[in-house]
Amino acid sequence: MAQKPSIPKGTRDFSPQEMSRRNYIFDTIKQVFRLYGYRQIETPAMENLSTLMGKYGEEGDKLLFKILNSGDFLKGVDDADIADRNLVKLTNKMCEKGLRYDLTVPFARFVVQYRGQLQMPFKRYQIQPVWRADRPQKGRYREFYQCDADVVGSDSLLNEIELLSMIDMVFKRLRVRVAIKVNNRKVLTGIAEMIGEADKIVDITVAIDKIDKIGIDNVNEELRSKGLTEEAIEKLRPLLEMKGSNAEKLDTLAGLLAGSETGMKGVEELRTVIDGIDSLGHDCEVELDVSLARGLNYYTGTIIEVKALDVQIGSITGGGRYDNLTGVFGMPGLSGVGISFGADRIYDVLNQLELYPESVSQSVKVLFVNFGDKEAVESMRIVKLLREQGVSAELYPDAAKMKKQMGYADSEGIPYVALIGESELESGTVNLKDMVSGTQEQLTPEALVARLKD
């Protein structure tokens, strides 16, 4: 018995209707990217592991999909390594490439590789799939699309303000209510200094980044396991539970971090960014969240995360500033900042809230019924005329029964059906039926084009 076809866990197939909806999201995001002056690039699905490893922290490295070398991938592997099950050593010998984990690290590699050809500041957008060997669950997939926008070669905080404005515009167009949470890595560094655990900044950020998922008590337990003292944990708690307006939180932080030069710089950067987006005006909520850490090691300044307000789901957009990322590829001192829209989670949000326009699922505007050879030839001529004028049109391929052809139009959601029978051939007209109202009208081909272009 043949095995039933299936796909790997954490991946999905998409039907034509689903692709129409996804393309609506992609097109909306692309339009906004272009409005803000970002230009599109693409990079390979796989990168050298030397490019990817060490950029996402220890936990991120574990989630990289590695690709076995071509041919004899066991060449150079000792039997002792296999017997010892030394996975790190085995992987290093058997795998030279991996599937990209995100689009930011490949972008940094791209900037360094083509630096002589790029005008700085360089603003790029990229919409491609990424892969993570994560445990599949609702809203979390092993293969998913990211829609990234980054600008490198500029230290200006105007870039952060523009990115927040861009997020606001995208979700306004998609009609999704969101909260944009912001923080600053320098503030987190200042907090680590203030509680006397400056050398554990990575452990602290990785732990508190999980606060929404596991709660503060479990975060504290993880911090204990990393060696933080009870005194340090108690000092940290009120900061993570800070309430009030953004201005009040900034004033509180400024008082608490007065002894940390790095922390104070982070506070001032946050103040500039928040005041800047407020001065532009925005539909979404913008909230300073001191617990926001985004566990990726490469962030050095502003951190951004977006949550949908009407659906229980993880972050649907995130990003931040990464001053040191290109340094690991031989280009130190090049500052960058960017955001990534999680298209798959946005897709799930729009599905749950049923926010798609009616026109999204409509692929063909008019179907021509096939009455036979002569009628089909004339129908094809007019179909070509409609397509040349930008109207999507289709001729049913077989001279099947009328009921079957009309049923096809109905099931595909085609709003109009055109009929060219013997009488229409003689008069040089087309009988156009509105599938919603049921009304029909006799039109010349020219009038039909004008009617359907409306």
Residues 6+ apart with CB under 8 A from 391: 365, 366, 449, 452, 453
User: Quick one: pLDDT at residue 217?
Assistant: 78
| Dist. CA 240–CA 235, nearest whole Å | 10
Which tokens go with 266?
């982070």
Q: For position 401, what pLDDT does the model report?
A: 96
Where among 353, 381, 405 does a domain terminate? 353
Residues 128 and 233 in one domain: yes
Is 259 found in the same domain as 154? yes
pLDDT, tens digit (0-9, with 9 covering 90-100), for 374-416: 999 999 999 999 999 999 999 999 999 999 999 999 998 899 9
Residues 6+ apart with CB under 8 A from 189: 198, 201, 260, 262, 263, 266
For residues 134 and 353, the answer to whether their CB atoms sit within 8 Å is no
Q: Kindly state whether residues 269 and 307 are assigned to the same domain.
A: yes
- CA–CA distance, 6 with 20 (Å, rounded to integer): 23
Instruction: State how far the alpha carbon of 442 is from the alpha carbons of 367, 420, 430, in Å.
Output: 15, 10, 6
Contacts of 123 (CB under 8 A, 6+ apart): 36, 37, 38, 39, 149, 150, 151
CA 327 to chain CA centroid, Å, is 25
Nearest to 98 by CA among 127, 126, 121, 68: 68
> To the nearest 10°, the Cα dihedral for 415, 421, 425, 427?
-80
Same domain, 219 and 242: yes
Q: Give the pLDDT band (50/70/90) at residue 89.
A: low
The residue type of 272 is T
Q: Is the pLDDT of residue 205 over 80?
A: no
Q: Look up the domain containing 107 and give its range.
A: 16-64+101-353
CB 381 within 8 A of CB 409: no
Looking at the 3D structure of the chain, how many domains does it have?
2
* pLDDT of 201 higher than 90: no
142, 9 in Cβ contact below 8 A?
yes
Structural domain includes residue 128: yes
Task: Indicate the pLDDT class of residue 99, thresholds 50, 70 and 90.
Answer: very high
Final residue of a structural domain among 353, 383, 416: 353
Any domain includes 73: no
| Dihedral angle sign, alpha carbons of residues 213, 214, 220, 223 | negative
Parallel/antiparallel/unpaired status of strands 143-152 and 95-99: unpaired
Domain holding 237: CATH number? 3.30.930.10
**Cα maximum dimension of the chain:** 93
- What is the distance between the alpha carbons of residues 171 and 166, in angstroms, rounded to a whole number? 9
Q: What angle do CA 134, 140, 144 make, to 5 degrees?
A: 90
Tens digits of per-residue pLDDT, 264-320? Answer: 999 999 999 999 999 999 999 999 998 888 755 678 899 999 999 999 988 999 999
Instruction: Identify whether the C-beta of residue 415 lies closer than 8 Å to the C-beta of residue 399.
Output: no
Is the bond preceding 5 in cis, omega lying within 30 degrees of 0? no
CA pseudo-torsion sign 136, 139, 145, 146? negative
Inside any domain, residue 204: yes
Listed in sequence order, the residues at least 6 apart from 119 whose beta carbon sits closer than 8 Å to its beta carbon are none
Same domain, residue pair 343 and 381: no
Q: Which stretches within 321-439 are classed as H helix?
A: 343-353, 373-388, 402-411, 422-427
Asked whether residue 35 falls in the same domain as residue 118, the answer is yes
Q: What is the pLDDT of residue 235?
A: 78
137 and 54 within one domain: yes
245 and 291 part of one domain: yes
Q: Which residue in 90, 106, 2 sits closest to 47, CA to CA? A: 106
Three-state secondary-structure class, residue 33: helix
Tell me the H-state helices in 246-306.
246-256, 261-280
CATH of the domain at 376: 3.40.50.800
Pair of tokens at residue 157: 């905080």
Residues 302 and 389 both lie in one domain: no
Q: What percentage of residues in the chain have a pLDDT greater than 90?
A: 62
Q: Look over the chain and give the mean of its residue pLDDT values, rounded to a whole number.
A: 89
Enter the pTM of the model.
0.84
Note the pLDDT of residue 395.
Answer: 97
Q: For residue 83, what pLDDT is reported?
A: 62
pLDDT of residue 207: 79
CA-to-CA dists, residue 28 to 352, 372, 390, angstroms: 18, 42, 20
Any domain includes 89: no
Q: Is residue 84 part of a domain?
A: no
- Say if residues 111 and 152 touch (Cβ distance below 8 Å): yes
In a domain, 313, yes or no: yes
Domain boundary at 332, 353, 374, which?
Answer: 353
Per residue in 146-162, pLDDT tens?
999 999 999 999 999 99
Within a domain: residue 315?
yes
> For residue 78, is it within any domain?
no
User: Edge-to-edge, what's the strand order for the sheet holding 95-99?
Assistant: 46-48, 95-99, 66-68
Asked if 346 and 383 sit in the same domain, the reply is: no
Distance (Å, whole) CA 21 – CA 356? 7
DSSP category for residue 327: G
Higher pLDDT, 320 or 75: 320
